[in-house]
Chain A
Amino acid sequence: MTTLEIKDLHVSVDTPEGVKPILRGVSLAVESGQTHAIMGPNGSGKSTLAYSLAGHPKYTVTGGSVLLDGQDVLAMTVDERARAGLFLAMQYPVEVPGVSVANFLRTAKTATSGHAPPLRTWVKEVGSAMDQLRFDREFLERSVNEGFSGGEKKRHEILQMELLEPKIAILDETDSGLDVDALRVVSEGVNRAKANTGVGVMLITHYTRILEYVKPDFVHVFVDGRVVEQGGPALADRLEAEGYDRFLR
């Protein structure tokens, strides 16, 4: 049983025009097995929350705390956070030319689990996870994310989530840019990880579409850097019908 506890988190970003506050006091707790949908209009700070939790150097935490089972996440380096059990599926996965997917996955698994996975079972595990995501095994020899389509990049992110078995996964607009088939395949991957490892999921999205496949237990509406309303799955239905307008006035 794992808990990620975000308390009154304030985050700024450095821009050419100066320091700009984005998150203005976010509080949220995600436990193993739970799925939290973070919904909000563009520019509300959803991605800032995701990157801040992963430790991206562009963002500066100016207040609040983040604890993973009582451990201070904000004091950890980026790689330490991943090894502690946090995972961020990025909206724009980065291309790393010259590093093969196979080498990357194995290196990441070795780092997060603390030991090199036994080769034979690992190859099988990777292969079957790729098959289930309908992600061609030829991608293993390609450079990380280089020349991947939007859908391929997202499959690759979810593949990593399944293989690295984090305790808490933050999915940043994993649904954006996916057609309906890809969305279903990717969602099945998320649901498999939930069933197999009990991962707690923070699902950041603009649209309710993915919530038809990955059922949320809680829905948080995010506007202007803070949570303005919380509820159960019914809140998502209401957002689908009414949009974000009533929060923006």
Chain B
Amino acid sequence: MGISQQSRGTRLASFELTDFPQPNGREEEWRFTPIADLADLFAGDLKAEVVTQVQGPTGVGVSVETVGLDHPRIGAVPAPTDRLAAAAWAASESATLVTIGGTDTTQPTVVRVIGSQSERPTPSAAQLTIDAKPNSRGLVLLEHTGLARLNQSVEINLGDGADLTVVTVCDWTTGSVHAASHRVRLNKDAHLRHVVVMMGGSLVRITPHIELAGEGASLDALGINVTDSGQHHEAQLFVDHAARNCRSRATYKGALLAAGAHSVWIGDVLIRAAAEGTDTYEENRNLVLAKGAHADSVPNLEIETGQIEGAGHASATGRFDEEQLFYLESRGIPKELARSMVVHAFFAELIARIGQADIAAALTAAVDAKLDQGRAEPA
């Protein structure tokens, strides 16, 4: 368990940038982050250099608009709880609003965030809001490519009974820096499958803050990072159980391929006094495939009521399971291939849980390609 100075529930939440002091890097939420590399994203005067394109299945109740931040459906989720998230909000002049109103989940609505044309990208901000209407069903793929320095604010609001999958893929080119604050609210009986995939970029920090605000809401949070030399991939998950009889499952898995790879996972789960009947489990597993790679993993569970169904967490960071490798090798399978099979299998189980065959196949291919590329340097 991590050592928090304060309850996660009492952390400052505000849309005002000036409410947040500039962090010094020693705070609980910043102590694993190379904060100097983010310095220019903390300001409130960011540009809007990245391009957001939305390509959706048409005629199935998905609409896309650009709206002002004063639009009633913008900012209808939990407020930012750190300065980066507040800066992303403060620096945005408008938001891309994707409304999911249909029930088709066969084809994803694809949101493409494309980096700068310049070799020296300008620090930028972007605001995206995904609003799932009551009882709607939908699938959103949020892709990031190119070179960028982006501070991004993503809001996801699920109406009563909505069932939504949001898959975020960070496939930035080397040199990219991306901070993303996902602020999410699930209303009554809503179900969200929230998937984060960190592959590219030099520094990617995603902070999903997911509030289970309505009775019976259910969350499946999945994360993958494949982290190579010189990359910092960080996920700070906050699951806020604020209502009765909600369920959450979080599984984040990472592979660190080479010396100098760094990943961070912080999993805060708060079960508030009102959240009786909560059923929650979170786990983080890391496979460290080389000496000099480092994974920080901190699960935190705060429970304010005893009337719960279950609450647990697990964290494991290790090298290859030597017994598994021995078993495969003892059947004639060469060591390199045995390793590759074990890593592939490590992610396959998680990818299968995304529940959409095309996205699963694409992710499998992307993960395998990155593993092959990083395999030159065995542990």
Contact of A79 among B322, B333, B349 (CB under 8 A): B333
Contact at A94–B326, with CB atoms within 8 Å? yes
Whether B330 pairs with A54 at a CB distance below 8 angstroms is yes
A77 in the interface, Cβ–Cβ < 8 Å? yes
Q: Judge whether A93 is part of the interface by a CB distance below 8 angstroms.
A: yes
Within 8 A of B (CB), among A7-42: none
B274 part of interface (Cβ distance < 8 Å): no
Which segment, of B9-17, B257-265, B338-346, faces chain A?
A: B338-346
**B329/A78 in contact, CB under 8 A:** yes
Contact of B329 among A82, A103, A160 (CB under 8 A): A82
Range, interface on chain A: 20 to 34
User: Is the pair A78, B349 in contact by a Cβ cutoff of 8 Å?
Assistant: no
Tell whether A77 pairs with B335 under 8 Å between CB atoms, given A82-B329, A82-B330, A96-B342. Answer: yes
Between A54, A55, A99, A107, the greatest number of chain B beta carbons within 10 A of the residue's beta carbon is seen for A99
From B322, B332, B334, B342, A99 is in contact (CB under 8 Å) with: B342
**A107 surroundings in chain B (CB, below 8 A):** 331, 333, 337, 341
State in angstroms the CA–CA spacing of A107 and B348 once bound together: 17
Within 8 A of A (CB), among B313-329: 322-324, 326-329
Q: Residues of B with Cβ closer than 8 Å to A?
A: 322-324, 326-335, 337-338, 341-342, 344-349
Task: Convert A65-90 into 0s and 1s, putting 1 for each residue whose CB lies closer than 8 angstroms to a CB of B.
Answer: 00000000000011101110000101
A56:B333 contact, CB within 8 angstroms: no
Q: What mask results when residues 133 to 153 of chain A are scored 1 for a CB within 8 Å of chain B, else 0?
A: 000000000011000000000
Q: Is the CB of B332 within 8 A of A111?
A: yes
Q: Cβ of B331 and Cβ of A160 under 8 Å apart?
A: yes
Q: Which residue of B lies closest to A111 (CB)?
A: B332
- Who on chain A is nearest to B328 by CB? A96
Q: Residue of A at shortest CB range from B325?
A: A78
Q: Is the Cβ of A78 less than 8 Å from the Cβ of B342?
A: no
**B331 and A112 within 8 A (CB):** yes
Say whether A218 faces chain B, with CB atoms less than 8 Å apart. Answer: no
Establish whether residues B348 and A78, one from each chain, have CB atoms under 8 Å apart when the complex forms: no
- Assess the B332–A164 pair: CB atoms within 8 A: yes
Whether A108 touches B326, Cβ cut-off 8 Å, given contacts A98-B345, A99-B345, is: no
State whether A79 and B335 are in contact (beta carbons under 8 Å apart), knowing that A98-B344, A98-B345 are contacts in the complex.
yes
In the complex, what residues of A have CB within 8 A of residue B346's CB? 98
**Which residues in B have their C-beta under 8 angstroms from that of A144?**
327
Given contacts A56-B326, A78-B326, A107-B337, is CB(A96)–CB(B331) below 8 Å? no
Please, how many angstroms separate the alpha-carbon atoms of A104 and B331 in the complex? Answer: 9
With a cutoff of 8 Å between Cβ atoms, the chain A residues found around residue B335 in the complex are: 77-79
18 more A-B residue pairs beyond the given contacts A94-B326, A98-B346, with a C-beta to C-beta distance below 8 A? A54-B326, A55-B330, A81-B330, A82-B329, A83-B332, A90-B330, A94-B327, A95-B324, A96-B327, A98-B345, A98-B347, A107-B337, A108-B328, A108-B333, A111-B333, A111-B334, A112-B332, A160-B331
